[in-house]
A and B are shown apart, each in its own frame.
Chain A
Amino acid sequence: MSTPTIGAADERAAPEVAEPARIAAEIRHGRWGDIWRAISRNRKALVGVLLMLVFVVLAIFPGQIAPYNPSAEIFPPALGVSRQHLLGTTAYGQDIFSQVVWGTRLSLVIALAAGALATVLAVLVGVSAAYLGGVTDGVLSLITDVLLVIPIFPLVIVIAAYSKSSGLGTLVIVLGALGWSYGARQLRSQTLSLRTRDFLEAARVRGERPMYVVLFEILPTMTSLIVASFLGAALYAVLTAAGLQFIGLGDPNSQSWGTMLYWAENNEALGAGMPLWAIAPGVCVALLGASFALLNYAFDEISSPALRVRRLERKRLRPVPEPEPKSTPSERAEQPEGTVLSVQDLSVAYATDAGPVVAVDRVSFELGSREFLAIVGESGCGKSTLLYAIARLLGAPMAGEIIGGRVLFQGRDLVLLKDEELRSVRWRNLSVVMQSAMNALNPVLTVAEQMRDACEAHSKMSKAEIEARSREVLRLVSIDPVHLHSYPHQLSGGMRQRAMIAMALLFTPDLVIMDEPTSALDVVAQRSLMVQIKELQEQLGFAVIFVTHDMSLVSHFSDRLLVMYAAQIAELSPTEQLFTRPLHPYSRGLLDAFPSIHGEKLRLEGIPGSPPDLRQPPAGCRFAARCPLVEDRCTKTEVPLVAVNGSLVRCVRRGELAE
Chain B
Amino acid sequence: MRFVLRRLGFFVITLWAAVTVNFLIPRLMPGNPAVAMMARYRGHINPSALHAIEIALGVNTHQSLLSAYFSYLGNLARGNFGVSLTFFPDPVMQDVLKALPWTLALVGTTTIIAFALGTLIGLISGWKRGGKLDGVLPPLFVITSAFPYFWLAMLTIWLFSIKLGWAPQSGGYDVAGNGPSWTWSFAGEAVKYAMLPALTIIITAIGGWILTMRNNMISVLTEDYVRMARAKGLPPWRIMWTYAGRNAILPNLTGFAMSLGFVVSGAILVEYVFNYPGVGWMFLQSVENQDYALMQGLFLMIVVAVLTCILAADVATALLDPRTRDVR
Q: Does B143 contact A (CB under 8 A)?
A: yes
Expressed in whole angstroms, the Cα–Cα distance for A285 and B298 within the complex equals: 28
How far does the Cβ of A533 sit from chain B's closest Cβ, in whole Å? 17
Closest 4 CB pairs of A and B: A426-B233, A153-B265, A289-B146, A397-B222
Which of A154, A436, A489 is within 8 Å of B302, CB to CB? A154
A153 touches B218 (CB 8 A): no
Q: A300-B215, A457-B232 are in contact. Are A44 and B148 (CB under 8 A)?
A: no
Mostly, the B contact residues are helix
A150 touches B18 (CB 8 A): yes
B265 touches A151 (CB 8 A): yes
* Other A-B pairs beyond A162-B25, A426-B231, A428-B233, 20, CB < 8 Å: A44-B139, A150-B17, A151-B264, A153-B268, A243-B149, A264-B154, A269-B154, A278-B154, A282-B155, A286-B151, A293-B146, A294-B142, A388-B227, A397-B221, A436-B224, A440-B227, A444-B322, A457-B232, A457-B238, A489-B322
Q: Return chain A residues, CB-CB under 8 Å to B70.
A: none
Q: What 0/1 pattern do residues 274 to 306 of A give for CB contact below 8 A with B?
A: 010011001001100110111001001000001
Q: Return chain B residues, CB-CB under 8 Å to A39.
A: none
B150 touches A246 (CB 8 A): yes
Q: Does A465 contact B (CB under 8 A)?
A: no
Give 18 CB contacts A-B under 8 Å: A12-B222, A145-B10, A150-B17, A153-B261, A155-B299, A162-B292, A164-B29, A278-B154, A282-B151, A286-B146, A286-B151, A292-B146, A307-B215, A423-B233, A426-B230, A442-B228, A443-B247, A453-B232
- Most A CB contacts (10 A, CB to CB) among B33, B233, B284 go to B233
Q: Return chain B residues, CB-CB under 8 Å to A46.
A: none
- Most B CB contacts (10 A, CB to CB) among A163, A235, A249 go to A163
Q: Does B90 contact A (CB under 8 A)?
A: no
B147 touches A286 (CB 8 A): yes
Query: Which B271-321 residues have C-beta < 8 A from chain A?
Result: 272-273, 283-284, 287-288, 290, 292, 295-296, 298-299, 302-303, 306-307, 310, 320-321
A247 touches B243 (CB 8 A): no
Chain B residues close to A by CB (< 8 Å)? 10, 13-14, 17-18, 21-22, 25-26, 29-34, 129-130, 139, 142-143, 145-151, 154-155, 157-158, 162, 211, 215, 218-219, 221-225, 227-236, 238, 242-243, 246-247, 250, 257-258, 260-262, 264-265, 268-269, 272-273, 283-284, 287-288, 290, 292, 295-296, 298-299, 302-303, 306-307, 310, 320-323, 326-327
Which of A149, A306, A428, A434 is within 8 Å of B307, CB to CB? A149
What residue of chain B has the Cβ atom nearest to residue A145's Cβ? B10
Q: Return chain B residues, CB-CB under 8 Å to A490.
A: 326
Mostly, the A contact residues are helix
How far does the Cβ of A39 sit from chain B's closest Cβ, in whole Å? 16
What residue of chain A has the Cβ atom nearest to residue B235's Cβ? A457
Q: Does A495 contact B (CB under 8 A)?
A: no
Number of A positions contacting B (CB below 8 A): 88
Which of B13, B142, B151 is within 8 Å of A290, CB to CB? B142
B323 touches A247 (CB 8 A): no
Q: What 0/1 pattern do residues 438 to 449 of A give for CB contact below 8 A with B?
A: 011111111000
Expressed in whole angstroms, the Cα–Cα distance for A600 and B150 within the complex equals: 82
Q: What 0/1 pattern do residues 144 to 169 of A give for CB contact below 8 A with B?
A: 01101111111101110111100000
- Most A CB contacts (10 A, CB to CB) among B22, B150, B219, B260 go to B150
Which of B142, B219, B258 is within 8 Å of A148, CB to CB? B258
Q: Return chain B residues, CB-CB under 8 Å to A436.
A: 224
Expressed in whole angstroms, the Cα–Cα distance for A539 and B245 within the complex equals: 38
How far does the Cβ of B120 sit from chain A's closest Cβ, in whole Å? 18
Q: A149-B261, A248-B288, A270-B157 are in contact. Are A297 and B146 (CB under 8 A)?
A: no
B151 touches A439 (CB 8 A): no
B14 touches A487 (CB 8 A): no
Which of B17, B22, B33, B228 is within 8 Å of A164, CB to CB? B33
Expressed in whole angstroms, the Cα–Cα distance for A12 and B323 within the complex equals: 24
Q: Return chain B residues, CB-CB under 8 Å to A151.
A: 260-261, 264-265, 302-303, 306
Expressed in whole angstroms, the Cα–Cα distance for A396 and B239 within the complex equals: 14
Q: Return chain B residues, CB-CB under 8 Å to A426.
A: 230-233
Q: Return chain A residues, CB-CB under 8 Å to B21.
A: 150, 155
Expressed in whole angstroms, the Cα–Cα distance for A440 and B227 within the complex equals: 8
Which of B148, B228, B232, B326 is within 8 Å of A243, CB to CB? B148
Q: Return chain B residues, CB-CB under 8 Å to A388.
A: 227
Q: Return chain B residues, CB-CB under 8 Å to A240.
A: 265
Q: Return chain A residues, CB-CB under 8 Å to B143.
A: 286, 290, 293-294
What residue of chain A has the Cβ atom nearest to residue B302's Cβ? A154
A265 touches B154 (CB 8 A): yes
What residue of chain B has the Cβ atom nearest to residue A147's Cβ? B17
B287 touches A157 (CB 8 A): yes
Expressed in whole angstroms, the Cα–Cα distance for A288 and B157 within the complex equals: 23
B326 touches A396 (CB 8 A): no
B229 touches A442 (CB 8 A): yes
A154 touches B299 (CB 8 A): yes
Which of B151, B221, B287, B310 is within 8 Å of A161, CB to CB? B287
How far does the Cβ of B8 sit from chain A's closest Cβ, in whole Å? 14
A293 touches B14 (CB 8 A): no
Q: Does A431 contact B (CB under 8 A)?
A: yes
Q: Does A242 contact B (CB under 8 A)?
A: yes
Chain A residues close to B by CB (< 8 Å)? 12, 16, 44, 142, 145-146, 148-155, 157-159, 161-164, 182, 235-236, 239-240, 242-243, 246-249, 261, 264-265, 269-271, 275, 278-279, 282, 285-286, 289-290, 292-294, 297, 300, 306-307, 309, 388, 391, 393, 396-397, 419, 422-428, 431-432, 434-436, 439-446, 453-454, 457-458, 487, 489-490, 503
Q: A152-B265, A306-B219 are in contact. Are A434 and B228 (CB under 8 A)?
A: yes
Q: Return chain B residues, CB-CB under 8 Å to A457.
A: 232-235, 238
A453 touches B238 (CB 8 A): yes
How far does the Cβ of B173 sit from chain A's closest Cβ, in whole Å? 20
Expressed in whole angstroms, the Cα–Cα distance for A409 and B90 within the complex equals: 81
Q: Return chain B residues, CB-CB under 8 Å to A246.
A: 148, 150, 269
Expressed in whole angstroms, the Cα–Cα distance for A300 and B139 within the complex equals: 13
Q: Return chain B residues, CB-CB under 8 Å to A247.
A: 269, 272, 284, 287
Which of B154, B246, B268, B292 is within 8 Å of A270, CB to CB? B154
Q: Return chain A residues, CB-CB under 8 Å to B158.
A: 270, 275, 278
Expressed in whole angstroms, the Cα–Cα distance for A432 and B227 within the complex equals: 10
Which of A44, A153, A442 is within 8 Å of B264, CB to CB? A153
How far does the Cβ of A251 sit from chain B's closest Cβ, in whole Å? 16
Q: A149-B14, A243-B148, A440-B224 are in contact. Are A158 and B296 (CB under 8 A)?
A: yes
Q: Return chain B residues, CB-CB under 8 Å to A158.
A: 22, 25, 295-296, 299
B14 touches A261 (CB 8 A): no
How far does the Cβ of A190 sit from chain B's closest Cβ, in whole Å? 15
- Most A CB contacts (10 A, CB to CB) among B230, B264, B296 go to B230
Q: Return chain A residues, CB-CB under 8 Å to B310.
A: 149
What residue of chain B has the Cβ atom nearest to residue A273's Cβ? B162
What residue of chain B has the Cβ atom nearest to residue A300's Cβ? B215
B261 touches A152 (CB 8 A): yes
A161 touches B292 (CB 8 A): yes
What residue of chain B has the Cβ atom nearest to residue A506's Cβ? B232
Q: A265-B273, A457-B238 are in contact. Are A150 and B14 (CB under 8 A)?
A: yes
Q: Return chain A residues, CB-CB under 8 Å to B262.
A: 236
Q: Return chain A residues, CB-CB under 8 Å to B139.
A: 44, 294, 297
Q: Return chain B residues, CB-CB under 8 Å to A300.
A: 215
Expressed in whole angstroms, the Cα–Cα distance for A396 and B218 within the complex equals: 9
Which of A393, A444, A453 is within 8 Å of B320, CB to CB? A444
How far does the Cβ of B104 sit from chain A's closest Cβ, in whole Å? 15
Expressed in whole angstroms, the Cα–Cα distance for A439 and B257 within the complex equals: 27
Q: A151-B306, A440-B228 are in contact. Are A282 and B261 (CB under 8 A)?
A: no
Q: A151-B306, A440-B224 are in contact. Are A307 and B13 (CB under 8 A)?
A: no
